[in-house]
Amino acid sequence: MTASIFTDIPKQLSEELSQTLLKTPNIRIERILSAGQASPVDFWYDQEQAEWVMLLQGQARLSFADTESVELNPGDYLLLPPHCKHRVDWTTPHQVSIWLAVHIESEPFTEALNAAGD
Amino acid sequence: MTASIFTDIPKQLSEELSQTLLKTPNIRIERILSAGQASPVDFWYDQEQAEWVMLLQGQARLSFADTESVELNPGDYLLLPPHCKHRVDWTTPHQVSIWLAVHIESEPFTEALNAAGD
């Protein structure tokens, strides 16, 4: 009935690995594993969906097209609004970095942001 | 831009504390802090919404009306479907237990469960 976010880590991670933990019509919760990987230089994630992300293990740096980069340690979280261009600039090579990502359908999300700004 | 799930813990927690980290029309992400608190005996949470929950710090035990109780350590997560009657049976008195809870609107969620069962 329960599972652990910290177990079943593959020994070899030649590339970043995303695993869906829960999927509903409106959200998708996933675990992302990075073993020193970073996004390609000049590549930007530009997602339709908002993404709420927390680092659970390891260390990472996210960079953005429109603002300063951020360093993440375990327990650090942030919201990436739809079309917030970002890339994974760096993850520690010393340990597998474990991310929890909650992808949120953008339409109701954008409505909520607009309503909050009224 | 970032925040940490492990900081800004009140020194005194006379009761369980829930703090909303993100709210959209379809989901609500919250941090729940327990300092040894448990649900009242014979009380059951019986929620309209599904809840995906992970323990991030501390130790806890959840019990259920219809199945065996589970012990949770940091990193352990589980899904509580709508109307899954549960209670917090115990949390460690030695440390603040920190939970991450994702509350998910039940209607699309139930549709997804039904579709998955087709």
- Extract the tokens encoding B26: 């379809």
Q: How far is A14 from chain B (nearest CA, A)?
A: 24
What pLDDT score was predicted for residue A25? 86
Minimum-distance CB partner of A6 among B21, B75, B78: B75
Give the residue with greater pLDDT, A107 vs A101.
Answer: A101
Distance from CA of B54 to the nearest CA of A (A): 9
**pLDDT value at residue A63:** 96
| Cross-chain residue pair A52–B22, CB shorter than 8 Å | yes
Residue A89 — left, alpha, or beta (φ > 0 → left; ψ -120 to 50 → alpha)? alpha
What amino acid occupies position B62?
A: L
**pLDDT, position B108:** 54
The pLDDT assigned to A105 comes to: 82
Residue with the bigger pLDDT between B65 and A111: it is B65
Task: Give alpha helix (H) positions in A1-118.
Answer: 106-117
pLDDT at A113: 59
Residue of B96, B74, B99, B75 lying closest to B86 (CA atoms):
B99
CB-nearest to B108 from A25, A54, A76 is A25
Find chain A residues with C-beta within 8 A of B73's C-beta.
4
Q: Is the pLDDT of residue B115 over 70?
A: no
Q: Distance (Å, rounded) from C-alpha A70 to C-alpha B111?
A: 38
Over residues B1-52, the pLDDT tens digits come to 899 999 999 988 989 999 999 999 889 999 999 999 999 988 999 999 999 9
Q: Using one digit for the tens of pLDDT, what is the confidence trace for A17-71?
A: 999 999 998 899 999 999 999 999 889 999 999 999 999 999 999 999 999 999 9
Averaged over B88-96, what is the pLDDT?
95
The answer to whether A75 contacts B108, with C-beta atoms less than 8 Å apart, is no
Please report, for residues A63, B17, B83, B85, the alpha-carbon distance to residue A88 in angstroms, rounded to integers and kept in the order given.
6, 33, 39, 40
What local confidence, expressed as pLDDT, does residue B77 receive? 98
| A111/B54 touch (CB, cutoff 8 Å), yes or no | no
Q: What is the mean pLDDT of chain A?
A: 91
